[in-house]
Chains A and B, each alone.
Chain A
Amino acid sequence: MTTRRLRLARPTLAALDAVANRVYGWRWNPIYQSGTVAVVTLLVLLATGLYLLLVYRLGAPFASVERITQDLWLGRWLRSLHRYASDAFVIAAVVHAWRMLAQRRSWGPRTLAWVSGGVVLAAGLVEAWTGFVMVWDAFAERLAREGARLFDALPIFSEPLSRIFAGEVAVPSAFFFVNLFVHIGLPLGLGVGLWLHVSRLARPTLLPPRTLSWAVVAALTVAAIVWPAPLADAADPLRLAVATPINLATAWWLPWSEQLPPLTVFALATVVALAFLLVPSLTARARTGMLAPSVVDPRLCTGCNQCPQDCPWEAITMVARTDDRPTLVALVDPALCVSCGICAGSCAPMGVGPVGSSGRDQLDAIRLSTVPALRVSSDAPIPSNVVFCCAEAPASHREALRARGALVREVRCAGNLHSSAVELALRGGAPGVMVFACPPRDCAGREGPKWLGERLFNEREAELQPRVDRRRVRVGTMAGGDLRGTLQAFDDFARDVATLAPLPVSGDQDVTQDCVTSADAGGRE
């Protein structure tokens, strides 16, 4: 059942991504950036929260918020911005979690990120709760009463918390103080949660591109100015409000909670929390085949220290060798390895990579299927260009490229592709090689497009050899919903390659050896 739902989640996400790509383009697709957009909203919350804190009065909570709201030039929109940023945080965090779940990126070494992300999201909801209560309007009273009702069912307090709101006396400042304390203290915990969330990553990306960050801030600000957040009537324990405004993004649980006995609410919350915590084990898959952890062949490893630098998950360390060679040797920790294959593209002598995806495996596959196909195509009036694309790329795009005569080959991730594979395809007779990577923020291996570009064009180990004509190699982005962009990029490339003189077919026998020699030279430097 769970697996079937997950199978449905993937195409749903792909469809949504495709729509967002059409509307915003893959560079600005906010769904790809949901995790980092959540961080931007947190920063907005921090900045606006500091101002609100300065003008908030514990002794007169509603009056102070009312005064803020009456300040048309600053207070009103800052308060609204604070509100909408908290809504946007919850939405972005939920989308991010759903994305990770649909892409099956929620288990194994990613378990810590999944669990800490869930805790951060839950803390965000509690934070929103306490924030609403600070206002002390009718909605705040409603939330406070519900919270008190739930807590009163637990054997914690000798005196029911609900009596605070009975109306015998004014709600004491101590209540607002504790609420404020939690509201200020929780972000510290939230910071720790975020740190844990990214602690396994080598180079965590915390923010979206600057333009998108400011676009998010600007959009929320416009919303805050155009549609100021509502302020209900002041809380009055001796009045029964007929209705209150409710914030659906952060207090969606309230209508359900109010209808249920407290213990049922706690039981449901526990079930949801447990289900969330169980996701890593429910979605875990056997670590065989494509999902087997990377391995190092110590005979090939020259100790160049490149793969530990490129691994996005810090799963590789350099350790002492057991033989008498003077270098260190790479060692993969299977518990940290997510089998992304990025390391396979980083190793000049092709000594590391997930089983079946190392550089040598890639060359074997090209020799076996691509080179013979290129030989056939070389007799055609227009020889085929080779396209390498990520296994996650949309099938419709791959088909469209095939229909245009390209020899399409899949790799686990564009960052997995070894530069020697590109060279081999050219030597095998391809007039040009185009590599389509996923949009950078949609890369399941996190850094595939980045390292691919660096290796092919900026001499990062394992670099494309200088002898290879760069005009025959190009990197493009294949984004769902942007078939036109994919085909346009390929057509441009094919047109440019067609203007170049034909390449002599030079065979492939030297490619592997060249790489080993080059890595040895690098290791000696």
Chain B
Amino acid sequence: MITARTVIRAVVALAVTAAGLAALAAASAVRLPWHGANTAALRLSWSAHPERIEVCRALSKAEVEARNEHMRQRVECDGKAATYALRVRVDGALLGDEVVQGGGLRHDRPMHLLQSYAVSPGVRRIQLEFSRRERASDDSLRGAAAVPDADTGIFAGRAAREASERGRLTRAAVPPRLTLDTAITFAPQQVVLVTFDPDGRRLVLRVDTASRRVP
């Protein structure tokens, strides 16, 4: 039997349910601040192989012959992966100064860089330097070609192959020094990305459509 009490109860139940659902919907659309309203960012992101710093030594003929035939190498190298210093200046102020090294336990895996710096919107001068920390004299890549023995016998063509492999590794690695010095207009909320272009072997800027380079 429908009584006034039943009706009131149904109305209250509907009202409470509606309020609960409205709260559920409101809780699904709460605005949560994320980045500041008038901010921009300079982001650095790239992956590259570190150079390999090797100390190479040409083996003597006796040393080579003392080895099993399949183990005979004329040049033996001992080395490590290079480390890099990253310096980031915005309008002359040093925002970032850190050491970047390759991944893995021996740091000989590719290095992955991802840094972000908050920047005020406006025209900003960006200076970026990414340079190898080890001295050039540590690098004995060129020494590898200076093998005294003739390229004959089981070594036939090997010197060329080794040189080409070393060249490939050098090209695959990041150059010893990368720089970027430019001025750019940061629009509010804009991210300017600096990345490494492996084909051009240089740092390049990626900006969204709202940005423009200052000539």
B25 within 8 A of A: yes
CB closest chain-A residue, reference B33: A243
Out of A23, A245, A249, which one reaches B12, CB within 8 Å?
A: A23
Q: Do the beta carbons of B32 and A241 come within 8 Å of each other?
A: no
B29 within 8 A of A: yes
A450–B43 Cα distance when bound, in Å, is 66
A230–B26 Cα distance when bound, in Å, is 10
Q: Do the beta carbons of B206 and A238 come within 8 Å of each other?
A: yes
Give the shortest distance, in Å, between A148 (CB) and chain B (any CB). 10
Evaluate whether A158 and B28 lie within 8 angstroms (CB atoms) in the complex, with A23-B16, A240-B40 already known.
no
A160–B44 Cα distance when bound, in Å, is 13
Q: Do the beta carbons of B28 and A230 come within 8 Å of each other?
A: yes
Q: Do the beta carbons of B9 and A168 come within 8 Å of each other?
A: no
Interface mask (A237-259 → B, CB under 8 Å = 1, otherwise 0)? 11111111111110000110000
Q: Do the beta carbons of A236 and B47 come within 8 Å of each other?
A: no
B39 within 8 A of A: yes
A166 within 8 A of B: yes
Out of A226, A230, A236, A240, which one reaches B34, CB within 8 Å?
A: A240
Interface size class of B (residues with CB under 8 A): 35 or more
Interface mask (B5-30 → A, CB under 8 Å = 1, otherwise 0)? 00001001100110001101111111
Near A by CB (< 8 A), chain B positions 190-207 give 190-193, 195, 206-207
Q: Do the beta carbons of B114 and A163 come within 8 Å of each other?
A: yes
Give the shortest distance, in Å, between A26 (CB) and chain B (any CB). 12
Q: Do the beta carbons of A248 and B208 come within 8 Å of each other?
A: no
Out of B22, B32, B207, which one reaches A254, CB within 8 Å?
A: B32
Give the shortest distance, in Å, between A72 (CB) and chain B (any CB). 17
Contacts of B35 in A (CB 8 A): 240-242
Contacts of B92 in A (CB 8 A): none
B148 within 8 A of A: no
Q: Do the beta carbons of A244 and B21 come within 8 Å of each other?
A: no
Contacts of B114 in A (CB 8 A): 160, 162-163, 166
Contacts of A490 in B (CB 8 A): none
A497 within 8 A of B: no
Q: Do the beta carbons of B25 and A243 come within 8 Å of each other?
A: no
Give the shortest distance, in Å, between A213 (CB) and chain B (any CB). 15
Of B61-69, B102-110, B151-159, the stretch lying at the interface with chain A is: B102-110
Q: Do the beta carbons of B190 and A244 come within 8 Å of each other?
A: no
A223–B13 Cα distance when bound, in Å, is 16
B46 within 8 A of A: yes
Q: Do the beta carbons of B45 and A163 come within 8 Å of each other?
A: yes
Interface mask (A217-232 → B, CB under 8 Å = 1, otherwise 0)? 0011011001101100
A160–B112 Cα distance when bound, in Å, is 7
A146–B205 Cα distance when bound, in Å, is 25
Contacts of B16 in A (CB 8 A): 23
Contacts of A158 in B (CB 8 A): 103-104, 109-110, 112
Q: Which of A25, A91, A240 has the most CB of B within 10 A?
A: A240
A170–B101 Cα distance when bound, in Å, is 26
Contacts of B192 in A (CB 8 A): 238
Of A81-89, A315-323, A419-427, the stretch lying at the interface with chain B is: A81-89
CB closest chain-B residue, reference A251: B32
Out of A28, A138, A142, A248, which one reaches B28, CB within 8 Å?
A: A248
Q: Do the beta carbons of A230 and B29 come within 8 Å of each other?
A: yes
A159 within 8 A of B: yes
Out of B31, B43, B112, which one reaches A243, CB within 8 Å?
A: B31
Q: Do the beta carbons of B32 and A244 come within 8 Å of each other?
A: yes
Q: Do the beta carbons of B103 and A159 come within 8 Å of each other?
A: yes
Out of A88, A223, A238, which one reaches B207, CB within 8 Å?
A: A238
Contacts of A255 in B (CB 8 A): 32
Contacts of B206 in A (CB 8 A): 167-168, 238
A168–B155 Cα distance when bound, in Å, is 44
Q: Do the beta carbons of A84 and B45 come within 8 Å of each other?
A: no
Out of A87, A168, A223, A249, which one reaches B193, CB within 8 Å?
A: A168
Contacts of A230 in B (CB 8 A): 28-29
A24 within 8 A of B: yes
Q: Do the beta carbons of B47 and A167 come within 8 Å of each other?
A: no
Q: Do the beta carbons of A223 and B25 come within 8 Å of each other?
A: yes
27 pairs from A and B in contact (CB 8 Å cutoff): A25-B9, A84-B21, A87-B28, A91-B24, A142-B34, A159-B103, A163-B45, A166-B43, A166-B114, A166-B195, A167-B45, A220-B21, A223-B24, A229-B25, A238-B207, A239-B191, A240-B41, A240-B189, A241-B35, A242-B36, A242-B37, A246-B30, A246-B32, A247-B27, A248-B27, A249-B24, A249-B28
Q: Which 3 A-B pairs have the closest CB atoms?
A: A227-B25, A166-B45, A240-B35
B contacts, CB < 8 Å to A? 9, 12-13, 16-17, 21-22, 24-37, 39-41, 43, 45-47, 103-104, 109-110, 112, 114, 189-193, 195, 206-208
A contacts, CB < 8 Å to B? 23-25, 28, 83-84, 87-88, 91, 138, 142, 158-160, 162-163, 166-168, 219-220, 222-223, 226-227, 229-230, 236-249, 254-255
Besides A166-B43, A219-B21, A223-B21, 13 other CB < 8 A contacts?
Answer: A23-B9, A88-B24, A159-B103, A167-B43, A167-B193, A223-B22, A227-B29, A230-B29, A240-B39, A240-B41, A243-B33, A249-B24, A249-B28
